[in-house]
Amino acid sequence: MSDTWERVQLASARIPFRIKTGAVWIALFAFLGFVGSSAGFDLQWIQDNMRYIAGGLRYTMYTALGGIALAVVMALLGALARISRNPVANGIAGFYVSFFRGTPLIVQMFLLYLALPPVGRNLAAKYDWLPEGFADWFLLDVMTAGIIALGLNYGAYMTEIFRAGIQSVAAGQGEAADALGMTYLQKMRKVVLPQALRVIIPPTGNEFIAMMKDTALVSFLGTTVDTMEIFRRAQLVGKHDFKNLEAYVAVALLYWALTVLFTYFQARLERRLGRGYDRSHVVKLAEASLRQRRAAGPA
Amino acid sequence: MTGTSTDVVVRIEGLHKSFGHLEVVKGVDLDVHRGEVVVVFGRSGSGKSTVLRCVNFIEDPTEGSIEVAGIRLGGGHRTRRKREQIRQLRLHVGMVFQQFNLFPNMTVLDNVTCAPRMAGKGSETEIAQRAKDLLDRVGLADKAREHPARLSGGQQQRVAIARALAMEPDVMLFDEPTSALDPELTGEVLSVMKTLSTEMHMTMMVVTHEMGFAREVADRMAFFHEGRILEEGPPSELIASPRYAETRAFLEAVL
Ligand SMILES: Nc1ncnc2c1ncn2[C@@H]1O[C@H](COP(=O)(O)OP(=O)(O)OP(=O)(O)O)[C@@H](O)[C@H]1O
Ligand SMILES: [Mg+2]
């Protein structure tokens, strides 16, 4: 008995580790497939409805791309303000980061979508010198509210990533730029930010992937029919046909595929950025300071 | 060392510098004249780097004033106007750092051309031509398209010298330009620095412990001790017959 076990172990040792982990994955899929089919999983329904659910991918992607674009702008401004000695800029940035890290994303979405319009209405009613249509500025459609909420929320977290990235650029670089008579903007644009980007881009990729998943929250705002993202679509058709299991499995697979795909691209990008010059020490610095700040919580 | 005040390029007057409660520079006065090479030396922590960094306001003087090319400034809060005055002063000062501080995100050529381009020092062709001439002068014309990381320390430092020269400064500051180099690479940097003096008549302040270079190139040497200039004089006198025991002890240690 123990002899056989010994031989099995030795034989197994000759198989590459990756093949073995791959086999475990296949076994897990097979197990899930077995459970699913025993539970009356309707594959045909998924085939019939996947097209409709996946049709929401473009809105999921629009929301995530819009959100990350806004987040990058906010994070850059936030980081520069947090580093600066200007009390107004620093104070505003501190307030921004503290609020958006200190409150739930879903609350921020509702604040923008449902709590903002009455503000506009009441202001317009109270001050008649406000321009025509002032109240309408506060009426955001669901996707816009979602993008703004995601962008502001992620921007607050990413402010720390950007700040760590900027501060990870060796002090001598800024001094050399100063010594050459560069202005602050020239120094930032040509010397500091390009070097900081190498540190900033990989974690920003992670944030983007996380944000793709958080776009599902937008569906709670009650998306209108023409801009429904994948989660909302899955919810609707699943409920309508009493196929909740199939619908949520389908949409989970879509999110999973998206993250696997983008994780792959992100890893490639990271490798490409790594070439050229050694930045390992810089990355370590940035990560350490990020960990510290995450641990410290919103502040 | 003699001459009218018009050919004073750098005038350091009553310079004090404290970091918190620690006073590192305790009253330094020094004039550097056009074409003069002043070598600054002294023990670690005596304030040599700090004085050099005050000259182009990388450090802010606590007390006293700096005058470069007729622009006289003191320390204090950096208002928008003050920042612009400092930047104007810096346009007259080139600096070479111990750690080179080349921009790793640019090619060698871009390192040399970026600052003149931003400052609008001539047309694009003039800037490119000047950069090529300077790289040629430091013996690195063939490395223009490389990235700094691919160069040896000695080559990097020579690019850093070319980068500073591209702004056509009135004075060059060198803060231990060869201390980070392997011994066999110091010679190429020192010989470039020597030609700056002999061929371009560049005004220079050099912090270095290379006494051979000092003896050969310096017009004047200043010995720093505990935040002050303890003594100064031409290298022939100062090296041969220092007046103070501290200077003598230090020279014995480095020679
Ligand atoms: N940014 C700073 N903050 C606090 N103390 C500092 C700072 N920069 C320098 N010092 C201190 O000031 C003193 C003088 O430093 P400085 O670098 O001018 O000396 P140095 O003569 O150049 O020495 P070395 O030969 O080691 O380069 C040292 O004690 C140093 O620790
Ligand atoms: Mg020093």
Name the amino acid, one letter, at A214: D
Give CA–CA dist B63/B212, Å, rounded: 34
pTM for this structure? 0.84
Q: Which of A183, A184, A277 sits opposite B104 (nearest CB)?
A: A277
Opening angle at CA A115, ends A110 and A119, nearest 5:
155
Q: Whose CA is nearest to atom 4 of ligand 1?
A: B19
pLDDT tens, position by position, B48-103: 999 999 999 999 999 999 999 999 999 999 999 999 999 999 999 999 999 999 99
Ligand 1: which residues within 6 Å by Cβ?
Answer: B 19, 24, 44-50
Listed as ranges, residues in chain A with pLDDT below 70 are 1, 274-299
User: Considering only CA atoms, which of B161, B168, B90 is closest in space to residue B126?
Assistant: B168
B253 Cα to chain A: minimum distance (Å) = 30
* CA-only gyration radius of chain A, Å: 25
Q: Whose CA is nearest to atom 1 of ligand 1?
A: B19
Tokens of A239: 């409920």
B249 Cα to chain A: minimum distance (Å) = 32
CB atoms within 10 A of CB A276: 13
Tokens of B160: 């850093």
User: Considering only CA atoms, which of A50, A99, A110 is closest in space to residue A252?
Assistant: A50
- Ligand having the closest approach to the CA of B26: 1
Beta strand pairing status for B203-207 and B228-233? unpaired
CB contact under 8 A, B97 and A175: yes
Q: For position A117, what pLDDT does the model report?
A: 87
CA of B145 to the centre of ligand 2 (A): 32
CB contact under 8 A, A277 and B164: no
Residues of chain B above pLDDT 90, percent? 96
Report yes or no for ipTM above 0.85: yes
B104 Cα to chain A: minimum distance (Å) = 7
Neighboring chain B residues of A277 at a CB cutoff of 8 Å:
104, 147, 149
Mutate to test the interface with B, among A178, A180, A280 (most CBs of B within 10 A): A180
Which CATH class, in words, describes the domain spanning A53-293? mainly alpha
Mutate to test the interface with A, among B81, B99, B101 (most CBs of A within 10 A): B101
- pLDDT top residue among B217 and A275: B217
Q: Whose CA is nearest to atom 16 of ligand 1?
A: B47
Sequence spans of domains, chain A: 53-293
Give CA–CA dist A281/A170, Å, rounded: 10
Q: Whose CA is nearest to atom 7 of ligand 1?
A: B19
Instruction: Among B18, B26, B44, name the best residue to mutate to test ligand 1's pocket (greatest count of ligand atoms within 8 A of Cβ).
Output: B44
Neighboring chain B residues of A176 at a CB cutoff of 8 Å:
95, 97, 101-103
Q: For position A290, what pLDDT does the model report?
A: 56
DSSP chain A: -HHHHHHHHHHHHHS-HHHHHHHHHHHHHHHHHHHHHHTT--HHHHHHHHHHHHTTHHHHHHHHHHHHHHHHHHHHHHHHHHHS--HHHHHHHHHHHHHHHHS-HHHHHHIIIIIHHHHHHHHHHH-TTSPTTGGGGG---HHHHHHHHHHHHHHHHHHHHHHHHHHHS-HHHHHHHHHTT--HHHIIIIIIHHHHHHHHHHHHHHHHHHHHHHGGGGGGG---GGG--HHHHHHHHHHHTT-HHHHHHHHHHHHHHHHHHHHHHHHHHHHHHHSSS--HHHHHHHHHHHHHHHHH---
CA of B49 to the centre of ligand 1 (A): 7
> Which class for A12: exposed (0-12), middle (13-18), buried (19 or more C-beta within 10 A)?
exposed
User: Considering only CA atoms, which of B115, B119, B113 is closest in space to residue B84?
Assistant: B119
Q: For position A282, what pLDDT does the model report?
A: 47
CB atoms within 10 A of CB A29: 10
Q: For position A286, what pLDDT does the model report?
A: 54
CB atoms within 10 A of CB B152: 13
CB A158 within 8 A of CB A75: yes
Strand order in the sheet with B171-175: B93-96, B171-175, B203-207, B37-42, B220-225, B228-233
CB A270 within 8 A of CB A205: yes
Q: For position B2, what pLDDT does the model report?
A: 45
Q: For position A271, what pLDDT does the model report?
A: 83
B242 Cα to chain A: minimum distance (Å) = 34
Give CA–CA dist B146/A272, Å, rounded: 18
Give CA–CA dist B225/B245, Å, rounded: 11
